[in-house]
Each structure stands twice: as structure tokens, then as C-alpha cells.
Chain A
Amino acid sequence: MSGGHAHTLHIHGHSVAHRMAPHLKVAALGIFVVAVVATPARAVPAFGVYAILLGTVAAVSGVPVRFIVRRMVIEVPFLLFAVLLPFVGSAPYLSLGGLRVSEAGLLAAWTIVAKGSCGVVASILLAATTEVPEILTGLQRLRVPAPLVAIAGFMVRYLEVIAGELSRMRVAMAARGYEARFLWQAKVLATSAGALFIRSYERGERVYLAMVSRGYTGTMPVFAAQGVTRRDYVQAFALPAIAVVVALAGWVVVA
């Protein structure tokens, strides 16, 4: 994954999904994904239902299809693996359009593509409807330990700063005629990575000074959280609940 900038992860909007409390969204995502993964791969129509659920969320939230497809590029490595499976898989074999493919491999490929894609699209939708700071607040509310959330906050904040420093270094190197094409040329890159670490670390120290100067005494201040009503719960968990039902139905049908 490269070049993922925070602001291209989010689609601005005011839909139900956008306004929903972030911790509910994260929990909903979790439930949905678990349902998908627990669904037997042979229950093919179930995945059709999941696709419809995801499509509904996307439509209601105003997230364009092109945006989703573009971000699905992250899937490509395991899609490639999936494509290979029918050809390198084990017996028994089927004949498919003149080709000999492994039945188990075919099923496995389908499993990977279907479940993996559902998971990816669901994550994309979360990021599209929830700003990063909110996701962090949501995690905190879900009882993720405070140090983890705080570290994640700083990490996300400084990601682009550090990435910017790295790209400036690479530009400087390129300007001096350097191009890393082979493993041993990685040494120069590695040295600049070392310099980048020191810069990052020293910035971390300065950030701490700035925090102390503004009264930080060791615990991050807590900002008031959004109130949640029963209606919010219903809205958040309606679709995941459908997914759970579908997953169970899938087991009944397949068994």
C-alpha cells in the first residue's frame, strides 16, 4: 500500500453513516466482518446479499463507486494469489472450459475473493464516512487502551509530515543522480532512512516539549463524547444484524 493520504480516504457528507457515533460504526464493521468470515463459502447467494448491504451503505452515504474501486487496489496481491489457486491446488480436479482446475482450489479462490472483498469494501466505507480523529475517539470509547489510541493519534497526525520529509530526501538524492534499482543500492536509501528516524524521534521530543508547555502532565485531556440513543444503536446494527442472520442461514442451507 503506498500513497494513501488521509484526506483521500474520506468523502465529505452528512448522511446517516457520516453522523453516526464512531464507536458504533467500528463495532458494526466488526460484526459485519465476523459474519462474512463465518459464512460458508459455498453459500454463494449470501455474498450477493452482503454486496447489496454494502452497496446500500455506499449509496446512502454518497460514496462514489469509482472511489471504492480505486481504493480496492489494495486487494490486488491477494487477488493474484486467488487466481493462482485453481491451477496449483490439489485433487480432485474439474474441467473448466478445457482447463484442468482444482476443485478445492476453486473454492478457496472464491472464498478469498468474496470474503476479502467484502472486508475491504466495508473498511473503505468506514474510512469514507468517518474522519480519522473520530475513528480514534471511537476506538477509545470501545475501551481500546488509552496509550494505544494516543500513539495512533500522533502517528496519523505525523504520517504526512514524515512521508513529506522522506520524499524531500528522495528528491534531493534524485537531484544528485541517484536511483535505487537494486538491493545493494538500498544502502543509500537505508542511510537516509536512518536520518529520517532521528528526525522523527527528535520531532517527537519537541512535540513533548510543546505538550508540556501547554500544561501536559502525563494524561491526555478527555474531550466530551457524543451521546448515543437507542435509535442510534438500531441504525448502526441493523445491517450487520442482517448479515449475521444471512450467515446463519448460510450454515443451515449448506449443512
Chain B
Amino acid sequence: MHIPDGFINGVTSAGAGVVAAGGLTAALRQAGARLKDRHIPLAGLVAAFVFVLQMLNFPVLPGMSGHLLGGALAAILMGPSVGIVVVSVVVIIQALLFADGGVSALGLNVINMAVVTTLVGWFVFRAIRIPLRPTRRSVLVATFVAATVSVAASAGAFVLEYAMGGVGGIDISTVSLLMIGVHVLIGLGEAAITVGVVGAVLSTRPDLVYGAADLAGDATRSTVSNRRFVGVAVVVAVALLGLATIASANPDGLEWVAARVGLAGSAQESAVASSPVAGYEVTGSGAFGTVLAGALGLGVTFGVGYGLLRLFRRRSTTKPAVPRSAR
């Protein structure tokens, strides 16, 4: 969902902008050499493809339709860092040119639709493939789950942002239920399309599926070993759990941070004053403290995410590249 201006307050939007810029810069750097040279027109064409695909609506409930987000698809086809860049470009141009998504909400939209979907999609995809044998079917199963979870995660990110700076007037648990509920349905649709696309590409041009390079028997490429992936995954999970534990076990912890940093008592308009979201309960110290803590949390997550991206960097030898289509 493209968040318009006014939905989320300015401070949260600004914080999201910083995080999004950081994530995008990290992705750009990670994609690095792959984004010079031949991959720029390729990324542009794939971005056009994602954009066009997003225009396809599918029914999820009577009278309500969803559309593809494409983050998981981009990650599986092109790798997480290029995927983030590609979908970010789609989101940014949609906001600037088509007024789809507010300009002030660009950071939020990039996070929700480009970064979270892509990273979560890739993460889940890799995780699910570990215990399975490297077959076409296991790739597609992993794709399905990854796409579904990625959409739910995107909704979760939105709920988090809404809790931090949403325009309010509605119970946060109602919002959560609605958003995540609908997005699980949308996620199923997205999963179906994503599996369809990945499956079709695997049949005709398996070399184009980044996430299935090992299937193509491409010995010139190496991927990070599964052991390393699991190691990193454990670290990430512990970090996130730790963060959540600290937050919920010590709800005053965030306030304490805010007070220490001298932000307590700022009387900005906040809609979150009495929202019962564990770990983000704010009583009196104003939205700013919450946002700061939230931003810190997101920052940690993205730091870890960046670390993940570095670990997943592919070492591929350069090949002369004349496409079959042009012979």
C-alpha cells in the first residue's frame, strides 16, 4: 500500500527517510560493480517489468483487490541488493510522477515496499532452501513462502510506523488486525504470481534466477555456505529478540532514553498517546522519544541487514555477455 502524505506524522516520516536512504545506499554499494555497466539497463528493464506487474490487480475479498509488491520476486531473480535498488526506483518514480504515495512518505514507502519485502523475502527464501534439496520444486516452495511472508512483513512494518506516528483515531490493534489480515491474503496472491514467474523463468532461462544459481550447475559462481547463513540468522534473531525483550520488559526504558537525551516533555501532537503496543508504550514523554527509539531499532535492524547483504555477496567471474536474443 502506498502511504499518502498526512497518514504518518512528520517526525516518523523523516526518521523513515533517513533509514530508507541508508538502506538504499547500502544496497547500492553492495550491488556495487553489478550496477555499473551492463546491469543498469537490465535493472531499468526489470524495474519497468515490476512497475507493470504492480498494475495487475487481483481480488482478495469481495470488493477489495490487492496488487503485487514485487520485493521477493526482485530478490529471488536479481539478488537482494539489486532487488532493493530496483523496487526503490519503482516506488520513488511512482511517488514523484504518478502521485502514488506521498513525497513526504517516500522513506516509509521505500522501507515497506522495497526494503522490507526484499530483505525478508530473500531471508525466508534462503532459510527455507537450507533443509531442502536443490531442486526446482524446493526453489518454488521457498519462493511461495518467502513471498507470502514478505508481504505480511511489509504490513507489519506499516503497523509499526503507524504505532510510532500514525494519524491516530483508531485502535492500534484494530489497525494491526486489518492490515496484517488483508495483507496475508494479498501475500497469497503475490506468492502465486511470484511462483508463476520464477517457475516460468526457471523453465526457459534458469541462468536468470539469482536464487537458483546452484540449480543451473553454474560452477563459476559461489554462494555463501549455508552454515554461515544460519550463523548470521541466529545472530539477527537474537538481536531482534533482545531488542523486543528490552523494550517490553522495561517499557520505561525507552522513556528513560528519551529523558536522558533531553527529549522528555516535548509537547508535540501525538496520536499514539494511549496505544497499547508492547514496547512502544509512551506515557508523557511525547512522540519524539518513541520515534527515536524506533529509529534506533530500525537502524540496528538495517545495520544487521547490511551485514547480511555483505555476507550474501556473490563472487562471480565475469563472463562475456552476448545475449542469446541478439545472436
Contact = CB atoms under 8 A, between A and B. Distances in A.
Interface of A: 1-4, 6, 9, 26, 29-30, 33-34, 36-38, 40-41, 71-72, 74-75, 77-78, 85-86, 88-90, 102, 104-109, 111-116, 118-120, 122-124, 126-127, 132, 135, 139, 145, 147-148, 150-159, 161-163, 166, 180-184, 186-187, 189-191, 193-198, 200-209, 211, 218-220, 255
Contacts of B102: 33, 37, 115-116, 119-120
Contacts of A202: 323-325
Contact of B326 (A113, A159, A187, A205): A205
Most chain A C-beta atoms within 10 Å of own C-beta, residue among B85, B93, B168? B93
Interface of B (DSSP majority class) = helix
A114 B93 contact: no
B192 interface: yes
A154 B48 contact: yes
B100 A162 contact: no
B265 interface: no
Nearest to B99: A123
B30 interface: no
Interface of B: 1-2, 4-7, 9-10, 13, 24-25, 28, 35-38, 40-49, 51-53, 55-59, 77, 85-86, 88-90, 92-100, 102-104, 167-171, 174, 188-189, 192-193, 195-201, 203-205, 208, 267, 269, 271, 321-326
Most chain A C-beta atoms within 10 Å of own C-beta, residue among B28, B44, B271? B44
B201 A198 contact: yes
Interface of A (DSSP majority class) = helix
Contacts of B40: 147, 150-151, 154, 220
Given A155-B93, A162-B48, A37 B100 contact: no
A234 to B, nearest CB: 22
Contacts of A75: 4
Contacts of B77: 197
A69 to B, nearest CB: 12
Contacts of A40: 269
B169 A119 contact: no
A116 B200 CA distance: 39
A186 B192 contact: yes
